Amino acid sequence: MSSRLARLAVIATVAGSFSGLFGVGGGTIIVPLLILWFGYGEREATGTSLGAIAIIAALAAGAHGLYGNVDPVKALLIGLPAVGGVVAGTALQQRISERVVAGAFAVVLVVSALALVF
């Protein structure tokens, strides 16, 4: 196995387990590793990460579906506005500095983490 393929396999396995365990796509793992290991630019890494996530999330949704925990109606409720959001987000990404967005996102994450725990 080439070292390139081996590295992609490591990214796939770690991102996949993250996805199945936490219900996320695994982009947190994929983006930094594509930049670090393959010298991807930031935008290329985010674009390629989204492509991989589409496949990983489909597999993980299927696996969780076997346990009977997927609610398609609620997925649609939260997923439809999210599809609108991702179109806006990718368009914005080509035009603005992501600094403010990263900061705002960080704040929202901390607040929702607190809401989950308390």
Partner 1 sequence: MELSDLVGALAIGLAAGMAGGLVGVGGGVLMVPGLVIFLGESQLEAEATSLLAIVGVAAVGAWRQNGYGNLRLSDAVVIGVLSPLGVLVGTVLANALSERVLALSFATVQVYFAYRLARRAIAPTAPPEAAKG
Scan residues 45-64 and list those touching partner 1 (CB under 8 A).
45-61, 63-64
Instruction: Say if residues 46 and 93 touch (Cβ distance below 8 Å).
Output: yes
Instruction: Say if residues 60 and 19 touch (Cβ distance below 8 Å).
Output: yes
d(CA 43, CA 64): 30
CB of 30 to partner 1, least distance (A): 7
Q: Which of residues 7-46 bind partner 1 (CB under 8 A)?
A: 8-9, 11-28, 30-31, 34, 38, 40, 43-46
CB of 25 to partner 1, least distance (A): 3
User: What are the backbone dihedrals phi and psi of residue 39, each rounded to the nearest 5 degrees, phi first?
Assistant: 65, 25
Q: Which helix (H) or strand (E) holds 69?
A: none
Assess 5 for contact with partner 1 (CB under 8 A): yes
Q: Which of residues 90-109 bind partner 1 (CB under 8 A)?
A: 90-94, 98-103, 105-109
d(CA 3, CA 108): 38
CB of 106 to partner 1, least distance (A): 4
